[in-house]
Structure 1
Amino acid sequence: MEQRALILIEGHRANGPLYVRAAQRLGLCPITLSADPTQYDYLAAEKLEAIQVDSGNLDALIRECSRLSVRYDIAGITGFAGSDESVSATVGKLCQHFDLPGPDPISIERCCDKYTQRQLLAEADVPMPAYRLAANATEVQSFAAEVGLPVVLKPAIGSGSIGVRLCRNVEEVAEHTNHLLGGDLTQSSPILVEEFAQGPYYCTHIMGNEVIGIAAADFSPPPHFVFHQCICPAPLSDDEHRRIADLSLRCLRALDLGWG
């Protein structure tokens, strides 16, 4: 009988070993495909199979998975997005190619663009802060005045709070715009200008269409949004829990993200 394998696209220093152990408990052989497997210490420490391949090249990943399918029965393909959410879209495309259950890559790619994501949520009447998409430094300044200071500036593409900053005056808007554009104010690069919504932060954890739990978190002092601590479950009343869960599931439906 062929051994069954779980293909992992890239790894994760914290969660990677948890995925590996979960796969092994299910009788699966975890195999990591990574541009640089040496960056994940647990792979060598636990003598896990790892293959160096350009994880940003879909064709290269398909070829490698096809070679592995000769030796293994591939039970599933998943991965770790980290600061690059496109990995999740790649996983979806691989799952489609090999007829495996997985997320819809089109839905994920739309969500990787924060402006497109907000448009989809707005069409579903999900409440959110005011936002504008600026293409250059001049538009950033104009939209910041239109939305009203303070504003949050962030790259339209990316995750992990990278490049996200609260700008409380015109000088901070100019400074952070210069930073996001790499010092070239003539450059065209999509930047989101958002109304600053101040209040408690909550994060909903969902599996499929079921709310698993809701966490609360605190940030370090402004202007950067760096997580300071997380509390799970969040201290909520039954009504608050229901409202947050209902809104989160509305977002999920609007973004067509009902898998995983």
Structure 2
Amino acid sequence: MARSALILVEGHRGSGPRYINAIQHLGLKPITLSSDPTQYEYIMSENLEAIRVDTDNIDDMIHECSRLRASYDIAGITGFTDIDELLYAKVGKLCQYFDLYGPNPESIERCCDKYTQHQLLADSGVPVPAYRLALNAADVESATAEIGLPVILKPAAGSGSTGVRLCRTLDELAEHTTHLLGEKHLWQSTPRILVEEFAQGPFYSAHIMGDEVIAIGAGDFGRPPHFVFREVTCPAPLTDDEHDRIADVSLSCLPALGLGWGPTNVELRWTKRGPVVIEVNPRLSGGVDPQLVQLAYGVDLITEHIKLILGDEWDLRRRHTHTATARFLIPDRDGILDWISGDSRAAAVPGVAGVELYVKPKTPIVRKSDYRDMIGHVIAASPSQAQTEAILKSAVDLIDWSITPFPPLGE
């Protein structure tokens, strides 16, 4: 009898090992399809099966999956990348081709275009910021004149806050427009810029499975004009009314975008007019969010996602209510990382649930003003928010590093 396998399209530094563990715990063999398996350290270190294939080519992936079916019972196919959501649309197409459970690829593709997403949400009465599409600098200027400063400039496709900036003046607007339309920003297709009203207020993130809101987290960013997460907490400190309003608005996004199967992540701001949807991600949130939800409520979103892929019954019941918070380590300068230490001592602090460093000594640090600026994180959890904050501070204070600035050009 052929062994059952679950195929993963590409990998993920944060969620990848957790998916591997969950798949193996359920008695399945994980097999990764990747354009470059060596980029995922956990695949190499654990000697996991991985197949090199052009994951941009759906026909090549169909060929590899068909070949694997000669040796394995393919129980499911999924992906969890939060860097290239169009890849997740290809996962949906693979599932359709092989008659497996998976997301609707057309819905994923619609969500990948932030302008189309805003249109569909607005047409369904979901509160979104004022927005315009711009194809050139003149479009950006006219759109900003209509919306009014300050505005957010962002690529109409992409994730991880790459290319996203708050523009408070015309000079900042011109500077970032030049950046996006110049050679510094890498476009996968024709440049399309979303000019968006700056929805001012606290940031929240709703984690949905199927048509049920499992958790609502809160996020805190570093200094503007960029949006690099400094801290994420689950659950968010909300009143019952605030929680219900955010949940209702988040769920209203599903029919508007044709979602409702599997995981969805909705990002919002609480403004003067209440919750406003900034973005809907038709996938499980990446990074530390699944771990925070599990620490906060005892719900393992990754395992339950895999159960859904397999066609099994999932269990989304909360086991407890704790407060879990992640603090990201972000350098304040570019240069060469001389050393970084204290992670072992931080991990030993009671209540710390995880410490991870993303870089090693002698690594060049070049800040990009997006998710790539993070060099590590610390996670703490306890029955109360105040206790979690105290644990986190004690642990983070034990970690330190040194960065030698790059020498001036010409030296």
- Pairwise same-fold verdict (TM > 0.5): yes
**4+ residue runs over 4 A deviation:** none
d(CA) in 1 for partners of 2:233, 2:162: 22
Q: Percent identity?
A: 68
The residue that corresponds to 1:118 in the other structure is 118
Contact 1:152–1:195, Cα closer than 8 Å, also in 2:
yes
Report deviation, 1:228: 0.8
Structure with higher helix content = 1
d(CA) in 1 for partners of 2:118, 2:218: 22
* Cα distance per residue 1:208-255 (max 9 Å; x no partner): 111110000101111001111001011111111111111100012211
What secondary structure is seen at the aligned counterpart in 2 of 1:70? coil
Matched residue type, 1:171: D
Alignment equivalent of 2:192, drawn from 168, 190, 193: 190
d(CA) in 2 for partners of 1:159, 1:256: 20
The residue that corresponds to 2:217 in the other structure is 215
Correspondence 1:136 to 2:158: no
The residue that corresponds to 1:248 in the other structure is 250
The residue that corresponds to 1:66 in the other structure is 66
The residue that corresponds to 1:238 in the other structure is 240
Quickly say closer, same or farther: Cα 1:56–1:151, change in 2 above 3 A: same
TM-score, normalised relative to structure 2: 0.62
The residue that corresponds to 2:105 in the other structure is 105
Uncovered stretches (5+) of structure 1, i.e. residues with no partner: none
Report deviation, 1:257: 1.2
Report deviation, 1:183: 5.3
d(CA) in 2 for partners of 1:181, 1:225: 20
d(CA) in 1 for partners of 2:143, 2:94: 39
Report deviation, 1:80: 2.3
Contact 1:37–1:43, Cα closer than 8 Å, also in 2:
yes
* Cα distance per residue 1:34-84 (max 9 Å; x no partner): 000001111121121000001111000000000001100000000122311
Greater relative contact order: 1 or 2 (C-alpha under 8 angstroms, separation 6 or more)? 1
The residue that corresponds to 1:10 in the other structure is 10
Uncovered stretches (5+) of structure 2, i.e. residues with no partner: 185-189, 263-411
TM-score, normalised relative to structure 1: 0.97
What secondary structure is seen at the aligned counterpart in 1 of 2:191? coil
What secondary structure is seen at the aligned counterpart in 2 of 1:242? helix
d(CA) in 1 for partners of 2:57, 2:70: 21
d(CA) in 2 for partners of 1:124, 1:193: 20
What secondary structure is seen at the aligned counterpart in 2 of 1:11? coil
Matches within 5 A, 1:155-166: 155-166=155-166
Contact 1:80–1:87, Cα closer than 8 Å, also in 2:
no
The residue that corresponds to 2:48 in the other structure is 48
